[in-house]
Amino acid sequence: MDTRIEFLYMDEPCMIDAGVMDMHRCIEVMEEMFGLLQKGDYVMGSQNHNSHGIMMDFPDHPPFANMPKNGPDRRFMAMPAYLGGSFDICGVKWYGSNRENIQKGLPRSILMNILNDKDTGAPVAVQSANLLSAVRTGAVPGVAAKVLANKEAKVLGVIGPGVISKTSTQGILDACPEIDTVKICGRRMESAKRFEAYIKARCPQVKHTVLTLEMETAVRESDVVLVATSGSKADPKICEEWIKKGALLILPASIDLDDDFIVNRARNVADHWLMYESWREEYTYPYYSAIDMLAVYYLDLIHDGKMKREQIEDLGAFINGTAKPRKKEEIILFTTGGMPVEDVAWGTVLYQNAKEKGLGIPLTLWEKPAMF
C-alpha cells in the first residue's frame, strides 16, 4: 500500500494566482453551496451539525502571568465543515484575532484554511485564508443580490464603509450590473472618501457616487442597501419610511428596525436559519444581548411569541426554486453571519485551480507513519 501523504501548501501569492480575488466565480461557487445547504448535503460542527464553530476567548483577569487577557476581538476560532455535491470534502478555517495586531502592521485576524480527505482525514491543502475569507464574505451578499434584488436595481446604499463593505459591495455590483450609483454613509467623511476611491478603482460600472454622514440619505431611493457597521455602541436605526418599496436590505451587521415592520411588512431571509437555531443551545435568552445580529434577534422575537419560525426563509430555497418568487414591491431583509461551508467551498475550488495550474508547494507529511 502507498502510505505516503502529501498536501499542497498555498501561501497568499499562490492563492492570488489561483483566483482567490475572482468575485464573479466566487459568487457562482457560493450559489452552488447554498443550494447544497438547503438540500442538507453538508455537516457543520456540534451534535446539531449546524454550529458556526467553536470560539476560545480569554478571562478578563488571567490567573497566570503568561495567559492572554481578554481584549477587543481577541480570540481563537475553529470552524469545521463537510460539504457534499461536487466539493465532497472536509475542511476547517482556523484563526487567531486581536485588534492590537493593527498596531503591528498586521490584519486583526490571521486565518488559515485546511482541507482534508473525507475518508482518511489526511490533509489535502493548507491555505492562506485572509483573502479567501474576505472574498467569500463579499460573495454571499452578491448571491443575495443576484437572487433577491429586483432586476432593474440602479442604486446601492452603503452604510458602514469598512472592510466588510469593500468586498460585499464588489459582490453586489457584480450580481447587479445595472447599478450605476453608490451612496456611501460613514461616520466620518474621510472614510467615505477612501471607500469611494476603492470602489471606483475596481468597479467601472459605478458612474455616480454620493457621500453622506446621514443614514437616511443613503437609504432613501436605494434599491439595495448594505449595512455593515462595526464598533458602534448602538445599532444603526433605520426607519421604515426611508426604505424604498421593493428594496433589498443586506445585513452582515446588526441593525435597529421596528418590530412591527420586521414581523408584519418585511420578508425575512437568512443565509441558513438552522445555524442560528443552534445558538439557542449555546446561549441563553435574550440571545441578542450575546450576539447582535438580526437573525439572532429573530430568536428573541420567536421566544416572545411575536414572530413565527415559518416567517423566516433560507436563501437556498430561492436558489433551488422552493420559495415563492419575490413580489416587486416586497421589502426583503437578508441576514448573514458567515459559515465554515463557505470557506470549504471556495477553498476547494482554489485548490483545484492550483492543481491544474501547477501552483503551490507540495509538502510531505510522511512516507509511512512511524506508528501504526
Q: Among positive and negative, which fits the CA dihedral 265, 267, 273, 279? A: negative
Q: Same structural domain for residues 361 and 284?
A: no
Q: Same structural domain for residues 192 and 79?
A: no
Q: Same structural domain for residues 69 and 9?
A: yes
> Considering just the CA atoms, what is the radius of gyration of the chain in Å?
21
Q: Same structural domain for residues 117 and 74?
A: yes
3-state secondary structure of 222: coil
Helices assigned H by DSSP within 239-366: 259-264, 273-278, 294-303, 315-319, 340-357
Q: Same structural domain for residues 54 and 74?
A: yes
The reply to whether 267 falls in a domain is yes
Q: State residue 279's pLDDT score.
A: 93
Query: What cell numbers appear for 151 in the block?
Result: 432586476
pLDDT in tens, the chain (372 residues): 899 999 999 999 999 999 999 999 999 999 999 999 999 999 999 999 999 999 999 999 999 999 999 999 999 999 999 999 999 999 999 999 999 999 999 999 999 999 999 999 999 999 999 999 999 999 999 999 999 999 999 999 999 999 999 999 999 999 999 999 999 999 999 999 999 999 999 999 999 999 999 999 999 999 999 999 976 557 899 999 999 999 999 999 889 999 999 999 999 999 999 999 999 988 999 999 999 899 999 999 999 999 999 999 999 999 999 999 999 999 999 999 999 999 999 999 999 999 999 999 999 999 999 998
Q: Are 177 and 212 in contact (CB under 8 A)?
A: no
Q: Same structural domain for residues 53 and 188?
A: no
Contacts of 238 (CB under 8 A, 6+ apart): 215, 219, 225, 227, 249, 255, 256, 257
Q: State residue 109's pLDDT score.
A: 97
CA gap 124, 110 in Å, rounded: 20
Contacts of 72 (CB under 8 A, 6+ apart): 99, 100
Q: State residue 230's pLDDT score.
A: 77
Q: Provide the residue range defining the domain that includes 29.
A: 5-133+341-366
Looking at the structure of the chain, the number of domains it has is 2
Find the CATH number of the domain harbouring 188: 3.40.50.720
Q: Same structural domain for residues 122 and 145?
A: no
Q: Same structural domain for residues 307 and 355?
A: no
